[in-house]
Structure 1
Amino acid sequence: MLRYVLNESDVGAVRFGISPLCELGLSLRAVMVPAGFPLQLPWLRRTEDARADLDLEVLQALIDERLWTPDFLNPRPASPLTRIDDEFAALEALPIEVFLADLLAVHGRIPEPLSGPPRAAFRRVIRALRELWTATFEPYWPRMRTVLEADVVYRGRQIAQNGLSTMLNGISHTVDYADGVVAVRLRDPEDRLQPIDGNGLTLMPTMFTRRASAPVGDGPPMLMYPARGQGALWETEPVANPAALAGILGETRAKLLAALGDPASSTELGVRFGVTTSAVNQHLRALRDAGLLVGTRSGRSVLYLRSELGSALLAGRSA
């Protein structure tokens, strides 16, 4: 059990972040145990051929049988706008002794593929991770990021509407929050009590964890939790669409309006409904101009949400 202790000032320093490098490292869980990540099976199928050409020996050495990854793969993101190039640059500047210590913390030893000269092993790890990113993440990262950003927006709305406690108690079935203590039920049998002490608590949605997880060591306070909406990333989504509403708005716009009870970007919606992003953008602009949607910028994306007027129109549809 890990317990993060928040005082009054710490409560105001809970923030969200997105880390491309962390997603990259955690994706090795799905590669090793595909059955444990059914929502990511489409990604595994699409990248199967590309992964065959990677340095799998080194990549597999970065994760153990408990599906733990070393802390150098779990950087605390500076913001929701973190770029993979910046994270790779920071990783390359990592002291070699930290690289070795993080491997030991996970494996209890240096894995055989990395047991040679430490600096050569470190360079091999960097190269393998860069190739993994280029082959399996770069083509799909815009889609993945929209899901993660939408989760952050949703959690922010929860805080605004119902408070921090409701949000924290809803991010994972293995997280409980009460009386200033965030309790995380980890598979690690060791009990850890870690005061935040003004360092802030970073919450990070990810598509490659089934329960909340945290850094292995006593690094900066951070929780990684399962992002909402992962199932919508790869599959098209049929939405019930009564003829009366479709007759007014058109079939595609009626589907979009019905789906936007939770915020989403045009990229995500295009994937869900099998429509090109440019076409989705045209429909979204028309719905927004009519007052049926509102849009807010989140990083490089605009997230859309049904307005009160749009919800009223839907309610009238079903009356």
Structure 2
Amino acid sequence: MVVLAELVFSASDLAHMRFVVSPMWEVVTSFRLQNSASVHPVHRRWVEQVRPRVKAAGLDRDRLAELIPPSGYVPDFLNPAPSGPAPTPSVELAAILAAPVGRVRQDLDHLEHHRGRRGPRLRSLYAEPRARLVRVAEEIETYWELALAPYWARIRAVLDADVFYRARQVAEHGVGHLFNDLHASVSWSDNALRVVRRQRTLSRETAGTGLLLVPSAFAGPGPHTRVSLPEPPQLAYPARGVGALWEPRAIAGTNAIAAVLGRSRTLLLTELETPASTTEPAPWSRALVPAGGHWSPGICRASNPLCPSNRTSSTVSNPSASEGLRSRLSVAKTPTSGTRSRPCRAALRRREPVTSGGNQYAVAVAPCA
């Protein structure tokens, strides 16, 4: 049965509408996707890498697997309303641990209504929510480290780009255009947001004030809603650009980068653009540079992904650079007496001196900005 859910907006509701990038929404939607019998071709490469890790950790048969079934309802307490625009996983885990006991049991009752049964692990969670939620949080943390953390820079780039695009839509065309372009099942007319959903209705009487719009790399094929008074309702929708999320990308300026790092190390650096195994990208974020290594300004400008133009304090950054190259070489501010520090001319922070061919080098680790 197809139900038209209608959410009426007042001026106050529009004033409290905002975008949120939520790690927990990515945990829930990605866990469901990798645990599904059918996988969308877009995410097949990611699933082939992640699924064996999840099974090896036993997460496919533990509490998280019972809480997030392949289809249907997911307990609302797993997606607490974020207080900020981009909470960290630890902040959202803390909110899950602080979920009211009554809310946890109510959600588990609703889950049992949909699934028709409650396994032994969920029975223990129902009996002792405060104690058993700790184990749920541990499983979520393990899943995050295995399945999402190695790829988070790439995923986050897609989500941030979607928020930027949607915010510009609002600025240029208004809220109605934003909603009408969000998804085929979502529309806006007569001061109301309408969502074609199955099974459950949605109204302002059962939802809080405003609306949280949550782009997701793994949500689909349609949007997901979460309603839990007194929190604002949440609408998670498929983000733009997901189709190219796992595709290898051509990196501009590699010849200029190779002039500094060498062709082999440059090749390893560009490999950050593709999904990798469990421990990446850490092993690839090292490069050998001369111990007193200064960048040539010409090379620096030619290799834009590693030496972007925007500068903040002692670091340079470029929000439009590809996320794989966000693991770029950080630039330390070490001006000499009477000389003003310039981007790309400062010496890199030294680590582990190495001597090779009569030249001294230092291993420089380049964390993301």
Q: TM-score band (shorter)?
A: 0.7 to 0.9
1:82 CA drift (Å): 0.7
Aligned to 1:259: none
For the pair shown, the structure with the greater C-alpha radius of gyration is: 2
Aligned to 2:244: 232
Deviations 1:112-157 (A, max 9, x none): 0311243354333222112111221221112211111111001011
Contact 2:32 2:69 in 1 (8 A): no
CA gap 1:232/1:199 in 2 versus in 1, 3 angstroms: same
> Which secondary structure state, in structure 1, belongs to the residue aligned with residue 197 of structure 2?
coil
> Which secondary structure state, in structure 2, belongs to the residue aligned with residue 220 of structure 1?
coil
> Which secondary structure state, in structure 1, belongs to the residue aligned with residue 213 of structure 2?
strand
CA gap 1:280/1:172 in 2 versus in 1, 3 angstroms: farther
> Which secondary structure state, in structure 2, belongs to the residue aligned with residue 184 of structure 1?
strand
Structure having the larger proportion of residues in helix: 1
Bigger drift between 74-83 and 61-70 goes to 61-70
Paired residues for 1:1-319 under 5 Å: 1-33=4-36, 35-52=38-55, 53-57=57-61, 58-64=63-69, 66-108=71-113, 111-112=118-119, 113-116=121-124, 117-119=127-129, 120-188=131-199, 190-194=200-204, 199-210=209-220, 211-215=222-226, 217-218=228-229, 219-237=231-249, 271=273, 282-284=303-305, 302-304=318-320
Partner letter of residue 92 of structure 2? E
Larger RCO (CA under 8 A, 6+ residues apart): 1
Deviations 1:79-127 (A, max 9, x none): 2221111111121122222212112223326620311243354333222
1:174 CA drift (Å): 1.0
Any unmatched runs of 5+ in structure 1?
240-248, 254-266, 306-319
Q: CA RMSD in A?
A: 3.6
1:54 CA drift (Å): 3.0
CA–CA distance in 1 between the matches of 2:201 and 2:87? Answer: 31
1:36 CA drift (Å): 4.5
CA gap 1:34/1:41 in 2 versus in 1, 3 angstroms: farther
Indicate the percent of aligned positions where both proteins have the same amino acid. Answer: 29
CA–CA distance in 2 between the matches of 1:252 and 1:180? Answer: 54
Contact 2:20 2:213 in 1 (8 A): yes
1:197 CA drift (Å): 8.7
Q: TM-score, normalised by structure 1?
A: 0.73
Bigger drift between 6-15 and 170-179 goes to 6-15
CA–CA distance in 1 between the matches of 2:248 and 2:14? Answer: 39
Contact 1:169 1:177 in 2 (8 A): yes
Aligned to 2:260: none
CA gap 1:216/1:7 in 2 versus in 1, 3 angstroms: closer
1:30 CA drift (Å): 0.4
Contact 1:29 1:67 in 2 (8 A): no
Contact 2:80 2:95 in 1 (8 A): no
Partner letter of residue 75 of structure 1? P
Partner letter of residue 104 of structure 2? F
CA–CA distance in 1 between the matches of 2:174 and 2:163? Answer: 15
Any unmatched runs of 5+ in structure 2?
257-268, 277-283, 288-299, 322-369
Partner letter of residue 2 of structure 1? A
CA gap 1:168/1:31 in 2 versus in 1, 3 angstroms: same
> Which secondary structure state, in structure 2, belongs to the residue aligned with residue 138 of structure 1?
helix
1:19 CA drift (Å): 1.0
Contact 1:64 1:106 in 2 (8 A): no
Contact 1:207 1:230 in 2 (8 A): yes
1:216 CA drift (Å): 5.4
Contact 1:5 1:182 in 2 (8 A): yes
Contact 1:201 1:221 in 2 (8 A): yes
